[in-house]
Amino acid sequence: MAKTREEFDVIVVGSGAGGGVVAGELAQCGCRVLLLEAGRHLKSADFRRWEAKAKHDLFWPTRFAPLPGGDAVAFLAGRCVGGTTTINTKVALRAHAQDFAKWRAATGLTNEAGQAFSRADLDSYYGRVEDLLGVRERSDWEKCIYTVQAGFRALGADLEPVHSYTDANCQRYGSCLQGCPNDAGKSTMNTYIAWALERGGLDLRAGARVERVLIENAPGGPRAAGVEYVDAAGERRVARAHCVVAAAGALATPQLLRRSGLRNPAIGRHLGLHPARLVYGLFDEPQDSHRVYPISAHCLKFQRDEDGGFVMEASTVMDPIAFATTLRDERGPLWGPRLVEAVRAYRRYCGVLAMVTDENNASVIVEADGSERLEVDLQPRELGRIEASLRFSSDALRAAGARTVYWTGLLATHLQGSCRMGDDPARSAVDRNGETHEVKRLYVADASLIPCTLSVNPSLTVMALATRLAERLAVALMEEPLSA
Ligand SMILES: Cc1cc2nc3c(=O)[nH]c(=O)nc-3n(C[C@H](O)[C@H](O)[C@H](O)COP(=O)(O)OP(=O)(O)OC[C@H]3O[C@@H](n4cnc5c(N)ncnc54)[C@H](O)[C@@H]3O)c2cc1C
């Protein structure tokens, strides 16, 4: 069947933290934007606390990367309009100065003045995102937080309120991972994208899977000219644009660039996992940690690498299916009567999410047959942090009064770094503006950009970087319109 061709100023691939922001910001500037999203466009009225269905409708199937000894890391990411922001817990934190300090060393990244790229280079963009999403402090703690806080204090640490992009209508249903049923949680779906659709200028196509970026030869070297995608009806289409922004997430963007013929060795390498696990304490009294805003507090005492290199968030339990299928202790995964007994006490758990700053030793590889392979190669220092974070979380729960402690295997929900930005093309995939070193007018605007794993939840940084890119693209498009 003949391919249908269309023309835009910008095509954005993926509608999550990065893509949703770039598309919304550029549409607001008057650019003609096509936003292609592989997942469905579901809205708050569709979101029910039906764990299995939400997993099917809103997430990519869970991927696993093997670890030595038969264990594995589970990778979670959203597949829907709004991407992972539609199903995440919406903690909104600016990265620590120490996080930025690693970027120059990793990739030679500088700002426009030739100085090391620092938090000051992002602060105004952080501010814009925080204002638009209404980021606020969550000090509306429930009983389970106070239960856990006692344990942290007993060990000389403490919990403090997080900030999040949730408004005052948050009913603390606890169902963030199934999409917010009353739009109190601000995803890019119900903010940037919804606003742009209302105003006009944004053409959103859900169920549209982009297969490759079209690259053509031009006098200054190869440049992006559009994309080829399969639409929701299964029809293969071509859309053309002045530039293409890849924002398909840290697992899919490197694969898209490889499928499009890019060869830079940094593409797909240096993947950071921010490896995390939930640690659950079983208490005598009901805690109802499943009916709270899942993450209202965190402990930053060990945030800096020299202090431990991990952060803990409280207090959350996964919904019943995920809870029951991931519990383990020193003897391994729970099974049979022990599992039944553990799950029966569901209301009596408090959970601590322990997240470790890793050193970007994972990779996304596209095999010769086009299939994906994930490789994780955790080094002793990273393993030491993972172990220390489990030990401290477990001790804090016991100090708080937990009779038994269980935990999950490693989860990777904060994927980043697989097309990292830098001045040095030998160590980075894109430049300081997100443009690939190999192909002009092809940009990356998602978590893949982050040169080294952050010590905090990454989405606010992804959105700030995307805002910065949108500002630069808007100027570039004004200077060099589509006809150029
Ligand atoms: C359960 C969970 C909880 C989290 N909680 C928090 C939190 O509280 N705070 C925080 O800061 N971070 C949190 N995160 C992480 C955060 O949401 C991500 O870091 C962020 O959304 C990444 O943005 P992104 O643009 O890189 O990718 P995404 O937001 O994942 O968006 C990528 C989009 O691209 C689409 N896509 C992929 N391939 C294609 C293709 N070929 N064609 C078209 N579209 C495609 C995907 O379907 C997806 O919609 C959480 C993550 C998870 C999984």
Query: Which amino acid residue places its CA nearest to atom 50 of ligand 1?
Result: 88
Under-50 pLDDT residues of the chain: 1-2, 483-484
Select from 21, 25, 55, 84 the residue to mutate for testing ligand 1; criterion: most ligand atoms less than 8 Å from CB: 84
* pLDDT of the residue at 6: 86
Span from the CA of 83 to the centroid of ligand 1 (angstroms): 5
Q: How far is the CA of 77 from the centre of ligand 1 (A)?
A: 5
How far does residue 147's CA lie from ligand 1's centre (Å)?
31
Ligand 1 pocket at CB < 6 A: 13-19, 36-39, 76-79, 83-85, 87-91, 177, 209-210, 247-250, 252, 256, 413-414, 446-447, 457-460, 462
Residue 84 CA to ligand 1 center (angstroms) comes to 3
Dist. CA 314 → ligand 1 center (Å): 21
Ligand 1 atom with the smallest distance to the CA of 415 is 19
* Spatial contact of 44 and 190, defined as CB atoms under 8 Å apart: yes
Per DSSP, the residues of 195-255 read HHHHHS-EEEEET-EEEEEEEEEETTEEEEEEEEEE-TTS-EEEEEEEEEEE-S-TTHHHH
Pocket test for ligand 1, best of 256, 277, 414 (most atoms within 8 A of CB): 414
Residue with tokens 């038969």: 70
pLDDT at 3: 54
Burial 117-154 (b: 16+ CB within 10 A, else e): bbbebbeebbebbbebbebbebeebbebbebbbebbee
Q: Would the pTM count as exceeding 0.85?
A: yes
Nearest CA to ligand 1 atom 18: 459
What does residue 344 show for φ and ψ, rounded to 5 degrees? Answer: -55, -30
Q: Best substitution site from 312, 408, 459 to test ligand 1's pocket, by max atoms within 8 Å of Cβ?
A: 459
How confident is the model at residue 480, as a pLDDT?
75
Q: What is the pLDDT of residue 483?
A: 44
CA of 167 to the centre of ligand 1 (A): 20
Distance 130 CA to ligand 1 centre (A): 18
pLDDT of residue 2: 43
CA-448 nearest atom, ligand 1: 26
pLDDT value at residue 481: 58
